[in-house]
Amino acid sequence: MQTVCIVGLGYVGLPTACVFAQSGVTTIGVDTRSERVASVNKGLSYIVERGISKAVQEEVESGRLRATTDLKAAVSGSEAVIIAVQTPFEGGKAVLDHLVSACEKVAESIKSGTVVIVESTVPPGTCERLVLPLFDRRGMNDGFEYYFAYCPERISPSNSLDEFRMNDRIIGANNQASLERGGSLMRTVVKGKLFATDLLTAETTKLVENASRDVYIAFANDLARICYHLGVDVHEVISLANTHPRVKILKPGPGVGGPCLTKDPYLLLEGLGERRGEEGLMIVTARSVNSGMTNAVLELAKADGGLRPGSKVVVLGTSYKPEVADPRSSPSEQVIKSLLQMGCKVSAYDPYCKEGFGAEIAENLAAATLNASCAIILVAHHSFQDLKLDELVSNMAPDPLIVDAAGTSRPRDAKSGKYRLRRLGDGKNSRMGTS
């Protein structure tokens, strides 16, 4: 292996490029955004997470990693191409323009014997229906003139480099030669197992992984609403239920965020074509439950007239999950926008994420909570889990309300006379909650 080209330097592509470069492979990253290319070539990472900044700096300085906007030149000088462009979900379907454009240019530029792997998440059937024909039209036969495989990513944005190397992966291809060539390429960097299958199964498996997580979370969130109305604490119920050897219920929260769980269930259903709407009822229900948690959080805050126009509210956490700086599709966005529409004055504080979604961004917790009548905890960052609520309310207005939608507080905290505590799904220790 002499040179590998990574098309797309986003949250998947940049870590992919770093891992290959760290393995000693000459790596060229390609992106249409010139500012992102310039940043990488200076040894700087726009992604904030463990190890990425150091990896970009070291690999650029070593000469193993560089970036360019010239896709055709990068592809023609490479023996392998990995495509990791975005496939957003808009207007009820996947937008595959970036993928098609990238694959068209790759098909125009690859030399004989090149390995082409798509990492981007796509609806089932995309590779067979859209991607392979782009190469076929140029007289290139998969498994002969080039080798095509689909190997979806399985990384967490908080630990991309290690997860890329250590996690097991699925790789799909429509012939043995492409499976072997694609597998050989991935084994240069992946230490986990590679499970081989066909293209359609690989595409479907990726989406099923994320759809299943959405369903699991929806069950926990549904339980939160049930337990409130029953007058029990959902956290205690789940903890006790999980002592059963065959039960593993997740924790409830303010919804589901991020670039995958919010769209991949829909991409899975998109593959059904005309049967969409007839199948996948559990997936549709899960999406509805998780999307509806914004209202559950707001009801906790509004009960007994707790919020009025002009009230100052502090939102703790704007990233889409703990310990990351990534705000994409964060449940906090809809909560903040709803509060602003109600006429509340909203400040936001997150130790990692600097996105406020229209709220005033506070530099520290003290500034965020100053004179606030309500604090809403939406992300279970470690620093919020360690936060003593007596300290949290020390800067707030008298008789403040704390809404814990992230499960960072404990039932004993509800007994304090210094503040009112409402915990999502807790009908045992707080009598205000979801409707």
In this predicted structure, what is the pLDDT of residue 22? 97
| Mean pLDDT taken over the chain | 93
Identity of residue 403: V
Please identify every residue annotated as catalytic: 206, 260
pLDDT in tens, 188-233: 999 999 999 999 999 999 999 999 999 999 999 999 999 999 999 9
DSSP 3-state of 432: coil
Could you tell me which residues come within 8 angstroms of residue 204 by beta carbon, excluding any fewer than 6 positions away? 124, 268, 271
Neighbours of 378 (CB within 10 A): 30
Whether residue 78 contacts residue 27, with contact meaning beta carbons closer than 8 Å, is answered with: no
Average pLDDT value for residue range 381-394: 91
Average pLDDT value for residue range 85-93: 91
In this predicted structure, what is the pLDDT of residue 307? 82
CA distance 12 to 351: 23
Q: Which residue has the tokens 């197992």?
A: 193
pLDDT in tens, 370-384: 999 999 999 999 999
Does 322 score more than 50 pLDDT?
A: yes
Tokens of 129: 């229906």
pLDDT band at 369 (very low <50, low <70, confident <90, very high): very high
**Among candidates 332, 379, 327, 318, which has minimal Cα distance to 47?**
327
pLDDT band at 414 (very low <50, low <70, confident <90, very high): low
Does 435 score more than 60 pLDDT?
A: no
Above pLDDT 70, what percent of the chain?
Answer: 96
Lowest mean pLDDT across 105-109, 213-217, 225-229, 273-277: 273-277
pLDDT band at 433 (very low <50, low <70, confident <90, very high): very low
Q: Which residue has the tokens 């994320």?
A: 210
Domains in the chain with CATH codes:
3-197 (3.40.50.720), 232-435 (3.40.50.720)
In this predicted structure, what is the pLDDT of residue 434? 35
Neighbours of 144 (CB within 10 A): 12
This prediction has a pTM of 0.91
Could you tell me which residues come within 8 angstroms of residue 336 by beta carbon, excluding any fewer than 6 positions away? 315, 318, 346, 348, 356, 357, 358, 359
